Amino acid sequence: MSAADPFALFASWFAEARASEPNDSNAMALATADAAGRPSARMVLLKGHDARGFVFYTNLESRKATDLVANPHAALLFHWKSLRRQVRIEGPISRITDGEGDAYFTTRCRDSQLGAWASDQSRPLDSRATFEARYEDMRTRFANGAVPRPPHWSGFRVVPDRIEFWTDREHRLHERRLFVREGNGWSEGLLYP
């Protein structure tokens, strides 16, 4: 692993987290801001990562998606308590391709696929019974075949321009390694804890 390759370092840390975290090692806080600059944060699941960036999926009519369309930048935070580590990622976003979205959608369990059709994510819901009825309608609609990816469901890639690796140390003397994109490469430095 090159000292100046934050993607390789992330892959190494992520592999350790997958082995040690009891639940959802791929959970990350996603922070967005709307057109007026009002921030919002929520937990989402990382569904892919490589040198192009970090991928998650959502309903394109959800609050997070409308924020990203209005202000196409995001921040991610992984916190792996069992390892006493964090990774902070910041950068612009891009939409994934339809082919990538279709390929990932086929890996989801059927119930999750049906839920993507049934949910008006982030919109007001009058009762749980309404959502459950919509879900049952989708089960009937797609009873005889595969469930296609809804047109309102896709993914985003955070293309990092900053990645910080934080390691807990005794007496709050933490270690913070910061990678900043410079052209086609990265510069690496340290931050005070």
Residue 136 belongs to a domain:
no
- Whether 181 is catalytic is no
Residue of 149, 172, 177, 181 with catalytic role: 172
> For the residues 15-27, what does the mean pLDDT come to?
94
d(C-alpha 27, C-alpha 25), whole Å: 6
Residue 126 belongs to a domain:
no
Predicted pLDDT of residue 3? 52
The torsion region of residue 103 among left (phi > 0), alpha (psi -120 to 50) and beta comes to alpha
d(C-alpha 177, C-alpha 159), whole Å: 18
Q: Kindly tell me if the per-residue pLDDT of 39 is higher than 90.
A: yes
Residue 97 belongs to a domain:
yes
What is the number of structural domains in the chain?
A: 1
Residue 127 belongs to a domain:
no
DSSP state for residue 126 in the 8-state scheme? S
pLDDT in tens, 54-67: 999 999 999 999 99
pLDDT in tens, 133-191: 999 999 999 999 999 999 999 999 999 999 999 999 889 889 999 999 999 899 999 99
CATH code assigned at 99: 2.30.110.10
Residue 89 belongs to a domain:
yes
Domain extent, residue 157, equals 6-109+151-191
Q: What's the number of CA atoms in the CB half-sphere (13 Å) around residue 11?
A: 11
Residue 24 belongs to a domain:
yes
Predicted pLDDT of residue 2? 44
Q: What is the pTM of this model?
A: 0.92
* Strands of the chain, DSSP E: 27-33, 39-45, 48-50, 53-59, 73-80, 85-95, 153-158, 162-167, 175-182, 185-191
